[in-house]
Amino acid sequence: MKALVQNFTNQLREAKSIAEKAVLAPSSNIENIIISGLGGSGIGGTIISELISDSCKVPIIVNKDYFIPAFVNSKTLLIISSYSGNTEETLSAFNLAISKNAQIICITSGGKILELAKQHQLEFIEIPGGYPPRSCIGYSLVQLIKVLVNKGFADKKLFDDLEKSIVLLEKENEAIKTESQQIAKKLTNKIAVIYSLGSTEGVAVRFRQQINENSKMLCWHHVFPEMNHNELVGWTTKNEDLVVVTFRTSFDYERTKKRYDICKPIFAKYSNEVIDIIAKGETKLEQFLYLINIGDWITCYIADIRQIDPVEVNVIDYLKKELAKF
């Protein structure tokens, strides 16, 4: 897994090359966008929706279920994202979208989804297969950028920002790994309480997922300002097993930052420690990818300390085997 994380910038470059070669027809009369995918395939949808939330003129919904909303019709752009191409829930949503005559584009490495896309003569972008899906966020996220730029819902400047992100991550590689090792020592065998200051919930979710899969530990996440209206009341008892981790960007809203400044001493009083991870870079994409990369490294180093295999997902394999009986 560490080799795959180290290869992240090369993956982004390859993904950019794939995107540049992909030929997609223009869409018309799109009134809403749905990105359907789960786990490592679905988190890219959450992140891209946050990246373009202040510029996209139609609503974007990230769907993580067997079903799709009732409003889906021929004016819906529905992006199917499944790395393996065989994700049970996404296949179900895909078939329902076909029956609703949605405008569908698939991002996958193969499997049944690629077969269906070809069978129904739908647009698709094929990405390299054979890796753990969670390690391929670069492939899927860049193709989502391609689709939304091509369809007119995202600024083509994102591709310039992508190149800047690659340069930044390569420049900061050793510093990122050093900081990640230090944070990993503080989080190992603790319960991470992950907070986003509003604009980076997708990054927080990604980190939670990576702690679960790579580090084989439980944790939770929440987002400001919503947590101020519920979870904050739960901070009443000292618990040395809790470590708060926040993801900070230069795009955090001023009032939300004030909220966090007030809450931070409360977290410090009742937890073991509070760790602020500060993004580097100028653009949103640079900062998002920076935070994703440092989060991935942290979870790999935790796996090293715990002497476990970050790649194995035996319990998920067991679940799929049991589901196959029905």
Provide the pLDDT confidence category of residue 26 given band limits of 50, 70 and 90. confident
Judged against a pLDDT cut of 90, whether residue 212 lies above it is answered with yes
Judged against a pLDDT cut of 90, whether residue 41 lies above it is answered with no
Q: What domains appear along the chain, each with residue ranges and CATH number?
A: 2-163 (3.40.50.10490), 173-306 (3.40.50.10490)
Distances (CA, A) of 243 to 154, 178, 191, 276: 36, 19, 6, 11
* 251 beta partners: none
pLDDT tens per residue, range 239-261: 999 999 999 999 999 999 999 99
Res 277: pLDDT: 98
Judged against a pLDDT cut of 90, whether residue 54 lies above it is answered with no
Global pTM value: 0.95
Res 40: pLDDT: 86
Provide the pLDDT confidence category of residue 199 given band limits of 50, 70 and 90. confident
pLDDT tens per residue, range 55-114: 899 999 999 999 999 999 999 999 999 999 999 999 999 999 999 999 999 999 999 999
Res 242: pLDDT: 98
Res 12: pLDDT: 97
**Residue 222 a catalytic site member:** no
**Residue 229 a catalytic site member:** yes
Compute the CA torsion angle 66, 198, 139, 5 (nearest 10 deg): -120
Given 57, 229, 321, 325, the catalytic residue: 229
Given 118, 157, 185, 320, the catalytic residue: 320
Compute the CA torsion angle 113, 115, 120, 126 (nearest 10 deg): 70
How big is the chain, counted in residues? Answer: 326
